[in-house]
Amino acid sequence: MKKHILVAIAAIVSTFLPVRASAGAAPTQVGGAEAAARVEQAVVYLQGVELTHTATAHLSEGVNELRIEGLSPQINQSSLKIKTSDGVVVTASEFSVDHFAESRALAPAVQQLQTAVESKEKEAARVKLDMDVNKNMSTYLSDGIAKNVSGSESGLGMEELRRTIEYYKTKAIELETERATLVERKKRVDSELDALKAKLQQEQARITRTSGVLRLSLTSPRDVDARFVITYYTTRAQWTPYYDINVASTDDPVSIMARAKVSQSTSLDWNDVRLILSTSVPTSGKQAPQLDTWFLSPVQRVMTRAKGVQYDEAEILYSVSEESVAYAAAPLNVYEPRQATIADFVATSGNELNVSYDIDLPYSIPGNNKPQTIDLVAKEADATYKYVTVPKLDERVYLVAEIGDWQRLELLSGLANITYDGTYVGQTHLDAASTDDKLTLTLGTDARVAVKRELLQDFSTRRSLGSNVQQAFAYRITVKNNQTSAVRITVEDQYPVSKQKNVKVTPATATDNRTVDQETGRITWEDEIPAGASVTHDVTYTVEYPKGTTLNL
């Protein structure tokens, strides 16, 4: 037993004693080397970003300690990956946040700005003093002249009066010229002072930034200048797709420019990085949802008993959990514009889950969270143009463009700015999840096609039928084409739909070219109106309902 105890003690003590390197063994080097990491690549997702940094450090043979600064302080540490070169092995790593790294780097710049602001403030004070002196001198001059002219009982002689007036004129012009110069100088000094203060405030704000620091324990087989590649994910960035849609005329296809607004607040400025935009969302749930058996059971409502208040009866409640699903899209067809733009340097790739836009130009995105606009891809789509009017809601005629088979464009959901014939029309929202066969874009109103909807009083009646009331409604829609060419127009109206057994709606029989949706009561006419011609459509229906009932007729 004693023998085993002595052996254990000897083993413990030996761990605290220095080990003499044997022949051929690598020497142990423990150093405090430091390296700065530079952002080389940013893969920006719809929410979040994967940053790739590179750093270089000289390592000695054996064990080394390395501190790498310049990482984002807000990272998902489970996503942190470190790659090394030249056979260097990472034996341990630790991530922390340094709240003073940025302050040390920027303190001299802030001090220089503070000195410049103080100097400019002194200059501004001198200008103000000169302006005050100039104002007082002008007052003294005016008062002195007035007193000199009126002070004598006999008054001034003509020669003396002339000299006095000449002196006053000369000094007044001199003071006024000086005042104008001082006013201009004050404007310049104030402008320069405001600019310096703004820059100082910006630099002071940057001082509050923190830096992510990576501490590594490394083993190197030899003396090397090792290269490190560090990647990680952070939620402090995003990009949003949007579009500029241009229609030159109704004889031309629709031009669509896909753009992106990229913003980031990673506490780092991305300078000349390789930028990749991806439609995937790494933080979304990666497990497809599954339905469990839905058991109904009474659940007692939890509530506080108050005096005189009874609990409600048990209620049958249920809840449904929601799972986030990653956005899926397919590759976009790249359109080659005539003039070179940044879109010429964007490579599009994709798979069943996401699309990536690889921008083959160095790009810079500041860390101030302000959106930066980037052109992605341009494309064209054939469209059918027609007019649409719903005079019950709006007695104006709208020109719309309908794009068939629009899913092939592989658009993402986002806002779109529409320009027609060189004029900005407005903004719409493209819904990539829409199941409509056609993508409809509203290009604006056209006053050359007039529409009017009027109630026909002679055919709109109200009468009693026993215990019921029967009301008849008749409307006439007139569309006039004042253009010099024929137009295609879709006219829409409706009659009410009843879901009550004691309320009956009866549309009048019609023989025109209308299409009626029985479930919604929507009436649609497709017309081809020649130049200068007009068409009329009548909407007639009766509603029968019990007396004393109020309906939204």
Angle at 317 between CA 312 and CA 322, to 5 degrees: 145
pLDDT of residue 346: 61
- Please state the three-class secondary structure of 188-246 as a single string: HHHHHHHHHHHHHHHHHHHHCCCEEEEEEEEEECCCEEEEEEEEEEECCEEEEEEEEEE
pLDDT of residue 300: 52
Between residues 296 and 231, which one has the greater pLDDT? 231
The average pLDDT across 444-465 equals 89
Neighbours of 377 (CB within 10 A): 22
Provide the pLDDT confidence category of residue 430 given band limits of 50, 70 and 90. confident
Judge whether residue 256 has pLDDT over 50: yes
pLDDT of residue 54: 95
Share of residues in the chain with pLDDT > 70 (%): 78
Q: What's the CATH number for 26-99+210-234?
A: 2.60.40
Cα 353 to its chain centre, rounded Å, is 23
Judge whether residue 484 has pLDDT over 50: yes
- Residues 547 and 467: beta-carbon distance below 8 Å: yes
Report how far residue 56's alpha carbon sits from residue 34's, in angstroms, rounded to the nearest whole number.
9
Most confident of 149-153, 197-201, 318-322, 476-480: 476-480
Judge whether residue 305 has pLDDT over 80: no
Report how far residue 514's alpha carbon sits from residue 497's, in angstroms, rounded to the nearest whole number.
17
**Both tokens assigned to 486:** 């024929």
Judge whether residue 325 has pLDDT over 60: no
Query: Among 10-24, 212-226, 242-256, 365-379, where is mean pLDDT lowest?
Result: 10-24
The string of DSSP codes covering 100-139 is SHHHHHHHHHHHHHHHHHHHHHHHHHHHHHHHHHHHHHHH
Query: Among 106-110, 161-165, 209-213, 319-323, where is mean pLDDT lowest?
Result: 319-323
Between residues 469 and 307, which one has the greater pLDDT? 469
- Side chain identity at 24, as an amino acid letter? G
pLDDT of residue 330: 32
Judge whether residue 104 has pLDDT over 80: no
Judge whether residue 500 has pLDDT over 80: yes
The average pLDDT across 380-390 equals 90
Provide the pLDDT confidence category of residue 107 given band limits of 50, 70 and 90. low
**Both tokens assigned to 453:** 């909807």
Phi, psi dihedrals of residue 137, rounded to the nearest 5°: -60, -40
Report how far residue 42's alpha carbon sits from residue 51's, in angstroms, rounded to the nearest whole number.
5
The average pLDDT across 430-459 equals 87
Judge whether residue 314 has pLDDT over 50: no
Between residues 48 and 511, which one has the greater pLDDT? 48
Start-to-end CA distance of the chain, whole Å, equals 103
Cα 289 to its chain centre, rounded Å, is 30
Q: What pTM was computed for the model?
A: 0.60
Left, alpha or beta for 308 (phi > 0: left; psi -120 to 50: alpha)? Answer: left
Judge whether residue 85 has pLDDT over 90: yes
Query: Among 145-149, 150-154, 214-218, where is mean pLDDT lowest?
Result: 150-154
Judge whether residue 334 has pLDDT over 50: no
pLDDT of residue 58: 93
**Mean of the per-residue pLDDT values of the chain:** 79
Report how far residue 439's alpha carbon sits from residue 379's, in angstroms, rounded to the nearest whole number.
15
pLDDT of residue 336: 37
Residue 199's alpha-carbon distances to 30, 99, 467, 552, in angstroms, are 42, 22, 81, 62
Q: Residues of CATH 2.60.40 domain(s) within the chain? A: 26-99+210-234
Q: Please name the residue that has the structure tokens 């009874």.
A: 310
Judge whether residue 20 has pLDDT over 90: no
Radius of gyration of the chain (CA): 40
Judge whether residue 286 has pLDDT over 70: no
Provide the pLDDT confidence category of residue 282 given band limits of 50, 70 and 90. confident
Q: Residues of CATH 1.10.287 domain(s) within the chain? A: 103-207
Is 186 buried (19+), middle (13-18) or exposed (0-12) by CB count in 10 A?
middle
Report how far residue 450's alpha carbon sits from residue 470's, in angstroms, rounded to the nearest whole number.
33
Judge whether residue 483 has pLDDT over 60: yes
Provide the pLDDT confidence category of residue 261 given band limits of 50, 70 and 90. very high
Report how far residue 51's alpha carbon sits from residue 400's, in angstroms, rounded to the nearest whole number.
43
Judge whether residue 169 has pLDDT over 90: no
Query: Among 26-35, 90-99, 337-346, where is mean pLDDT lowest?
Result: 337-346
Beta strand 211-220 pairing with 449-455:
unpaired
The CATH class of the 103-207 domain is: mainly alpha
